A and B are shown apart, each in its own frame.
Chain A
């Protein structure tokens, strides 16, 4: 589905990335621990999180996260928004809690992603 559909499903407000709403997403990962995101999330996934600090943006940049959904109506600081703009990472804010956010997306066909480290390794 497109990011625009994600926005509609979650009644979300787009803070960064109005120009990227046509982007396709298939998988999502929900977590408040960035180290888990780093360990498990697939490139191109949606990141659903309760965190709003700049590290969420950095983590998403490192992992090529398609877009960040900030849950429970928490708004990021101007610094976080500035960094997301700089790195071209969309931020959507939804009023739903993470449970409902994940549930609604799952219902509409988004699947979870757990990327095993070993799969990613390309040993010759």
Chain B
């Protein structure tokens, strides 16, 4: 499933990386501690965080994330967005509570997988 499908389904606001919404989303990761996200997230993950400083762009770029969803109503700093545009990293924002956004994306991803894999 590509990022654009999630953006449309959840009505996410696209703050950067409009031209990278065709990225394939293979999983999700939720984390606010950059060292944890660096160590444990996977390529193709959609990363949910409330961190907004520009280091998130570096982490998403290094880990080849499909994109970043900023939750809990946090608004990325201007330099974060500038860096994300330069590096072509999609940053998305949701108006809903983080838990619900995460839950819905989890269901969408699970639905694309085989019943054994989905495990819900």
Tell me if chains A and B make direct contact, with any CB pair below 8 A: yes
Interface residues of A (CB under 8 A from B): 28-33, 36, 40, 50-51, 72, 97-100, 102-107, 110-114
Pick 5 A–B contacts, CB within 8 A, sort by A: A30-B98, A50-B36, A97-B40, A98-B30, A99-B102
Smallest CB separation, B106 vs chain A (Å)? 3
Q: Which residues of B contact A28 (CB under 8 A)?
A: 99
**Alpha-carbon separation in the docked complex, A28 to B102 (Å):** 12
Given A72-B40, A97-B40, A107-B107: A50 touches B31 (CB 8 Å cut-off): yes
Say yes or no for B62: interface residue by CB 8 A criterion: no
Q: How many A-B residue pairs have CB under 8 A?
A: 82
Q: Which residues of A contact B96 (CB under 8 A)?
A: 112
| Cβ-neighbour of B107 out of A40, A106, A111 (below 8 A) | A106
Contact across chains for B31 and A106 when beta carbons are under 8 A apart: no
Smallest CB separation, A119 vs chain B (Å)? 14
Interface residues of B (CB under 8 A from A): 27-33, 36, 40, 48, 50, 72-73, 96-100, 102-107, 110, 120
A34 to B, closest residue via Cβ: B32
A32 to B, closest residue via Cβ: B32
Q: Which residues of B contact A102 (CB under 8 A)?
A: 30, 99, 102-103, 106
Given A98-B31, A114-B72: A104 touches B120 (CB 8 Å cut-off): yes
Given contact pairs A51-B33, A107-B107, enumerate 5 new A-B contacts (beta carbons under 8 Å).
A32-B31, A98-B29, A102-B103, A103-B102, A114-B97
Smallest CB separation, A40 vs chain B (Å)? 6
Contact across chains for A33 and B50 when beta carbons are under 8 A apart: yes
A33 to B, closest residue via Cβ: B32
Contact across chains for B107 and A32 when beta carbons are under 8 A apart: no
Given A33-B50, A50-B36, A111-B100: A103 touches B72 (CB 8 Å cut-off): no
Contact across chains for B99 and A111 when beta carbons are under 8 A apart: yes
Contact across chains for A106 and B100 when beta carbons are under 8 A apart: yes
**Alpha-carbon separation in the docked complex, A111 to B98 (Å):** 10
Smallest CB separation, B94 vs chain A (Å)? 11
Smallest CB separation, A48 vs chain B (Å)? 8
Given A50-B36, A107-B107, A107-B120: A112 touches B100 (CB 8 Å cut-off): yes
